[in-house]
Amino acid sequence: MEILKHVFGFLVFLKFCSPYVIHLNSTNWKQMLDGEWLVKFYAPWCPACRQFSPIWQQLSDDSSINVFVADVDVTESPVLSFIFFVKRLPTVYHVKNGLFREYDGARTLDDLRVYVKSEKYENETPLPWYYSPASYHMRIFIRFMDLGIFITNTHQAFLDAGYSNWMSFLIIGLSTIFCGLFIGIILVVIFDCFFPPRPQILRFIRKPKKVEESLQYETEKSTSNVHDDDVSEENIGNEITEIRQRKVDNNEVHDS
């Protein structure tokens, strides 16, 4: 098994280190998160990109720099141009172990070689985590962008098939509604499985007990209030009797 692992690793190394430019798109761009890469963003209609293309090919043929050389066609993968904030063409990024740095040096073969061999990229600040294409929120953004592109391509496919605009929009709209309902039902089922509701029968069983306890409490409370009232009236009667007796005693003293 160990021999097979080494052979497989060697074949992968030969595949990626062979003298050709690796073409990346929105489905395989995560390859650049491992190892050291130089990635060029270009467009076929761009004159500067066509002028820079031979230099990029020579760079990929140079085995002394020991990096992966790749390119991204922004017309084929517009999502990547958004998450990499491509504002001009061609744009070159240096990627190493998930850190992204935009190359701002001269677009010559010697300058690119020196940039990699002398590790001049260490003097540059990589993109912050909230701008990093490898961050989770950027990956979610990619999914939404891919969904938008898929809907656009689907609409164009309906138009090419002879459907009218309103018919295409109707089909896509109904499909979106039914997909939302289906996902909602799945979420409800999942929540019911992990967080089941309290059985209603227990409420009916426990409710009479609570009512009985409440009635018993009210009865005891009213009984205690009655006893308190009786005691208070008895005390008042005794006090009145004592007051009358004192008056009688005082009158007898005065008469004597």
Top pLDDT among 191 and 57 is at 57
Query: What is the phi/psi pair of residue 127, to 5°?
Result: -60, 140
Ranges 15-19, 29-33, 67-71, 164-168: which has the least confidence: 15-19
Residue spans of the domains in the chain: they are 15-127, 136-194
The pair of structure tokens assigned to 49 is 């990109």
Beta bridge partners of 99: 96
CA distances to 49, 67, 71, 106, 141 from 110, rounded to whole Å, are 18, 15, 19, 9, 37
pLDDT tens, 36-64? 899 999 999 999 999 999 999 998 888 77
- Please give the structure tokens belonging to residue 11: 């074949």
Kindly state which CATH superfamily the domain 15-127 is placed in: Glutaredoxin (3.40.30.10)
Predicted confidence (pLDDT) per residue in 105-157, tens digit: 888 988 999 898 888 888 888 888 777 777 777 777 767 777 776 777 787 88
Read off the pLDDT of each residue in 182-198 and give the average, rounded to a whole number.
81
Decide if 136 contacts 83 (C-beta within 8 A). no
For residue 161, give the DSSP letter: T
Residue 163 has what pLDDT? 82
pLDDT at residue 70, as a whole number: 93
Distances (CA, A) of 60 to 8, 32, 95: 23, 15, 15
E strands, 46-145, where? 68-73, 91-96, 99-103
Please tell me the pTM assigned to this model: 0.55
